[in-house]
Structure 1
């Protein structure tokens, strides 16, 4: 392994260790948060990524949906590259809530013995692929290759490691094994792939589409093919558990804004692309090419359903990948505010799959 990749991997290991060093209580509280009391928060600090898989956040900011729903609460935002970094900020008290992938959410919950966070809504399903260079046409061609993921322990990193294990490959969290995995910031992944220093990457949108359309990659694995009916969570809305207990009214407004942003995207397909790209230009420095954005949006579905029924499998995948500790995720979900919103508008409620509160 070259020195550059070793340094990237070492930094990723350190970042994951920091992200997992939150309080580790002996047992989680058996009592769900009382959502009838509390006060409205003066401020809400919200994290999200400059990814198409976080489009409801991008649209919510650009169209003023978040600010309107949170009227009276000051909204500030922070942009992250991947989940473990967002979890580190959430654990450190730098943010109150974040759009994030499921595996870092699981990690935080298990590390804290259920004290740290709650998933309050779904956001996105789909939109993650393993894309590779010419000459790699089957899993058998991957031996000795170097593949990237956004960050050690993030949702795509776990998916890649678990899939490789199922294909008979050994990997480790320091970049060794039969296939070398080097967690790398997404923009750098594109550059390294274009320069021939990476053989491929398991990435969320729009980065999978960018490697294909700007780097000449092709799809080896679409993660949707690995799940029943192609439904798997890519992004959820995660809230600090104490913030939820203290400010349920504000969290309810955040959940409503997420729902409204998803509804707006569905009702305004052409305008949504422009809004997403405009906010990406603000957050990432430049917009996406039209063909990249169009391909990326074809691969994602936006929904407030977090697909809680998949999370036990995600836990098993994280254990297989060696990126998380064993532990219970019972109580990870609190979907009561979401289901109240859905019921009040005569829509079907969603299930916590026995992994928390859903009002049933």
Structure 2
């Protein structure tokens, strides 16, 4: 019976000398799933990837690959015995070997005929059929990265680790390769874990994304949930675009005072938003929770709001649409033309700022007063006591 998880991390901790680099990381990957560790430089994501590969020791926890405990504080299986593939930033191709020989480098145990067949199959999978006789210097950077991927999948690993493999490529090619790689690995039944700081690359590649900050895994979730249900304000600020505006929680006075179904609302400069029937939030008629966590212990579903409590409300660019006849007004502070869209920063009446993305035929000059409509499908509210 195949293992439920190709990769299973339980409370993994890594250090450099005595300095904590990665702390308390737990995650799992099933066969064929693609995932990404996303975060800024220095957050610990590459250290964690190297620990999974067997290139870094761990000080606490367990790393299990294919039901085999590969890393613990007392034991460490060598990288070559972990049965996984590694793809790094620099391709690491052998310049004196042909493309075919690079791809077949790890296939020593196959017969000559089987090896040739597997090389041709892998080159076709990555779109390089017919280029096997060329050398690395005779192909482009994007093609070199494809060769590195072909070499990695040639031995048929069940897990591939990728450390910013597309960082040397231009943005368009990088994201196109990420999409292609996701489809390729799924078709081959290979699980993958990518490290990147590029959100769009992560969205293109991953079924699941782990957002890392200062050595901790803040949220492990689907790209959709990370964007629409971020677990804390740091994730909300890091994932996608948007700005926080201030709000105040209070009861909906249009309902009966003692009704058990009384709907709380959050009042902002943009208007009032009901927060009942939103899974992320609960409401208490008593005092707000006294704890002051810079990062909440649980997801937003555990937040409780007191009547008259001040809160932070996240407004995404896709929450805002232009409407010249609307009574809700804002002033254009900045604008950036991006072809099909124009990115705007808009100042509201109370000097709070929103970001908006309008189709480029909505071209407004700086300082112009414009009308807005709201299309808020996912209300994201946090206690104001949580530090950003």
- For the superposition of Structure 1 and Structure 2, which TM-score range results when normalised by the shorter chain? under 0.3
Greater relative contact order structure (CA < 8 Å, 6+ sep): 1
Normalization by structure 1: what TM-score? Answer: 0.23
- Computing the radius of gyration over CA atoms, which structure comes out larger, 1 or 2? 2
The structure with the greater share of residues assigned to strand is: 2
Structure 2 length as normaliser, TM-score? 0.22
